[in-house]
Amino acid sequence: MKLEEKKGLLRLLLQKRCTAARNHLAAFTQFTMPAFSPTWFHRSYYEVLNRFAQGQIRKLMIFVPPQHGKSEGATRRLPAYLLGINPDHKIAIVSYSAAKARKFNREIQHILDDAPYGQLFPNVKLSNGADGYARTMDEIEAVGYNGGIKTVGVGGALTGEPVDILIMDDLYKDAKTAWSELMRDSIEHWYNAVAETRLHNNSRQLIVFTRWHEKDLAGYLLQKESDWEVFTYPAIKVGKPNAYDPRDEGEALWPERHSAAKMEAIRQRDPWVFGNLYQQDPKVKEGLLYKTFKTYKLLPADAVTIKAVVDTADTGSDYLCSIVYATSPQGYYILDVLYTQEGMDTTEQQVAAQLCKYQVQQARIESNNGGRGFARNAERICRTMGNTRTMFQWYHQRDNKEVRIFTRAAEVQNMIYYPDGWNALYPQFYGAVKGYMAQGRNRHDDAADALTMILEAETKKTYNIHYT
């Protein structure tokens, strides 16, 4: 190939890259930051941000664990990109302090001053100091246009002109700030009295932060308004894959940087902090139902009767929870837990194998919503495995689940013993039990329900019990 042909090909490739970078935030980021190496998570995250940039989403919340690159996308690259595609945009960026907001301002200015940005948006320039346009640590304006970027700490002023795009990144500096009712009220007041007064009918809002508290600004707004689009990226996947998060349960969000093992170690140290900060599932600590947990290393000699309770999944998003335990005068010692969202065809096999493995003498299975068929199938599979020992009982539970769980909570804490290291043995079950709230909405109640079933079974509560 001749030199001129090579040059022509390179020009064509550059034109294609420039076109792609003008049309999508992820391509823009790669063009202006060559070291950017996106994982599946970053591609998903930037796709959501790009939909916001193109006006497809007007009110957006994204919740991401710390140190996963959220600010690079939302608060550095996105504002620069927005100003490039429309220099008349009036953009405001808010963070927890003026110093943090000014740091974002400096970083955005660096992007706009760099040569790659000039290749993409040659008409967007910053002030040289002699043209009457603002270029300070709090505000920059696009020369020759009406738009620009203001940066302010939460609580600061947004006076003057309207805001077309409001970006709020990490409004709470740390747990101490987020857990201060005074600070939360102050931020709510600032939003209502300052930020919202700058918005118009076509304004767009982006909230991107790590959640510390259920009553943070995101929680406050979600309680008031139903028109926000919310995307949550937990550090460890819970539940089945969805349209924007293809992970299987238990997989890390960015394993190359923050492995599942690392995340699990953090969970074991403090499951409450992990649930709030890394899973983006904030709960009030003093509102947790179960506060104490007894553990054991060796079974007592008199724990010889082996039983099981099985709470079948009511819906596709629920968990099946099957607990095998040994009874003793001192209490009930958990031997094994099966806690899964797999389908019935799979869980019937798993439960049957569990009952065989532990030579369970009696298995009680809740028959609501298909539990009766589940019990019969599990028994049939057990018999084909050679297990003639287990007696199956299925029963219909008519009492309110929340009331049952709450009224038996003290007995669960007093009488149930978990195997030493149960947080590592059954991390999903552990998280569900430790995070169960005494009041308010719980995402899943299957683990707490199964623990309650143990106490109900052992204290001779009367049911419509059927033996098979």
Lowest mean pLDDT among 97-111, 116-130, 260-274, 333-347: 260-274
Instruction: Find the helix or strand (DSSP H, E) in which 434 lies.
Output: helix 427-434
**For the chain, give me the number of helices (H) and strands (E)?**
19, 15
**Token pair of 329 as six digits:** 């005068």
**Res 462: pLDDT:** 42
**Res 463: pLDDT:** 44
Total residues found in the chain within this entry: 468
Q: Residue 468 corresponds to which amino acid?
A: T
**What share of the chain has pLDDT > 70, as a percent?**
94
43-59 burial, b if ≥16 CB within 10 A, otherwise e?
A: ebbbebbbebbeeebeb
CA pair distance 195, 3, nearest whole angstrom: 56
DSSP state, 236?
B
**Res 315: pLDDT:** 67
Pairing label, strands 305-311, 320-328? antiparallel
Query: Does position 119 have pLDDT exceeding 80, yes or no?
Result: yes
Q: Provide the sign of the torsion angle of the four alpha carbons 288, 292, 294, 295, taken in this order.
A: positive
Query: Does position 465 have pLDDT exceeding 60, yes or no?
Result: no
**Res 29: pLDDT:** 98
CA pair distance 149, 163, nearest whole angstrom: 10
CA pair distance 178, 215, nearest whole angstrom: 9
Query: Does position 442 have pLDDT exceeding 90, yes or no?
Result: no
DSSP state, 277?
I
**Token pair of 94 as six digits:** 């808010």
- Residues 209-221 pLDDT 10s: 888 888 899 999 9
Long-range contacts of 349-353 (CB under 8 A, 24+ apart): 349/381, 350/322, 351/310, 351/320, 351/322, 351/378, 352/378, 352/381, 352/382, 352/385, 352/387, 353/385
Instruction: Please give the average per-residue pLDDT across 421-438, as a whole number.
Output: 88
Are 237 and 248 within 8 A, CB to CB? yes
Instruction: Please give the average per-residue pLDDT across 294-314, as a whole number.
Output: 93
Mean pLDDT of the chain: 90
Structural domains for the chain: 40-233 (3.40.50.300), 287-467 (3.30.420.240)
Instruction: Please give the average per-residue pLDDT across 434-452, as a whole number.
Output: 83
CA pair distance 100, 393, nearest whole angstrom: 61
User: Confidence band (pLDDT; 50, 70, 90) for 115?
Assistant: very high
**Res 73: pLDDT:** 96
Tell me the HSE value of 452 on the side-chain side, using a 13 A CA sphere: 23
Which residue do the tokens 């991107």 mark?
208
**Res 68: pLDDT:** 94
CA pair distance 119, 66, nearest whole angstrom: 33
**Token pair of 95 as six digits:** 């963070």
CA pair distance 223, 228, nearest whole angstrom: 11
CA pair distance 383, 216, nearest whole angstrom: 53
**Res 48: pLDDT:** 98
Lowest mean pLDDT among 136-150, 172-186, 297-311: 172-186
Q: Residue 305 corresponds to which amino acid?
A: T
Tell me the HSE value of 266 on the side-chain side, using a 13 A CA sphere: 18
Are 334 and 425 within 8 A, CB to CB? no
CA pair distance 393, 185, nearest whole angstrom: 52
